[in-house]
Amino acid sequence: MGVVVHLTRVVLAAATLDLAARQVARQSMWRAAGVEADAGTVLAVALVAAIVGGGAAWRRGRRGMVSVVLGLAFAAGLFAQLNLGARLQSDGFYYFSYLRSLWFDGDVNFTNDYQMLGLTAAQHQFLYTPTRTGHAQTAWAIGPAVAWSPFFAAGHVVAKGLRAQGRDVAVDGTSYPYRQAVCIAGLFYGLLGAWCCWRLARWRSSARSPSRMSVGRPSSR
């Protein structure tokens, strides 16, 4: 049974990597190996693997079940992002500006970053009013940018690889590999939060278990 669960994890990992590649690089990971499969087929394979692996995990006392469920959720989330056209938008641009500015400019003056990201309409002009430090305005925190940074770095690697292949992809932090990598980061951290909640609930449930409580037990003397 343990081998089945392990193989399920491998299949789910391969499926998520392929779906992520379709979003960040706009090409299938399998195409280079001569395998043609659309995103729906990849998700279907992941679903079948999760059903088989989940059944095996259940028979083993549910050991490994959580990793199978989260792996399938990640694959399904990536599939949904592909089909719904997930993209960087709204306040996401302002958090993203920290990443682009620190990575490429080594500062937190977002004047050129806002321009490069297309924030030039009349409604955005207040952003260009200099602060006391002479920088562009921002009311957004750096936290999301810190969390997104590993994914932004992966997007940079993909952008450079695509550029080396002759694709018309900017490597200045503004093109789709960077933006879509950040979209995937949002999904990843959402599932990570769900896993942390599950772990906390399990710990609380275990702590309240009668077998672990000594308060109120009658004295043996």
Domain locations along the chain: 1-86, 87-194
175 band by pLDDT with thresholds 50, 70 and 90: very high
pLDDT at residue 75 tops 90: yes
Q: What is the mean pLDDT of residues 33-61?
A: 87
pLDDT at 61: 67
pLDDT at 173: 93
Neighbours of 158 (CB within 10 A): 24
- 98 closest CA partner among 178, 7, 27, 184: 178
210 band by pLDDT with thresholds 50, 70 and 90: low
Compare 126 and 209 and report the one with higher pLDDT: 126
64 band by pLDDT with thresholds 50, 70 and 90: confident
Q: What is the mean pLDDT of residues 49-54?
A: 91
pLDDT at residue 114 tops 60: yes
Give this prediction's pTM. 0.84
Q: Own/partner pairs for 79-82, CB < 8 Å, 24+ apart?
A: 79/19, 79/39, 79/40, 79/42, 79/43, 81/23, 81/183, 81/184, 81/187, 82/19, 82/22, 82/23, 82/39
Q: Which residues does 113 contact at the CB level (< 8 Å), separation at least 6? A: 97, 100, 101, 105, 136
- 17 closest CA partner among 75, 68, 76: 75
**Tokens linked to 99:** 């990443």
pLDDT at 131: 87
pLDDT at 208: 67
Q: What is the mean pLDDT of residues 171-195?
A: 95
**What percent of the chain has a predicted confidence (pLDDT) above 90?**
61
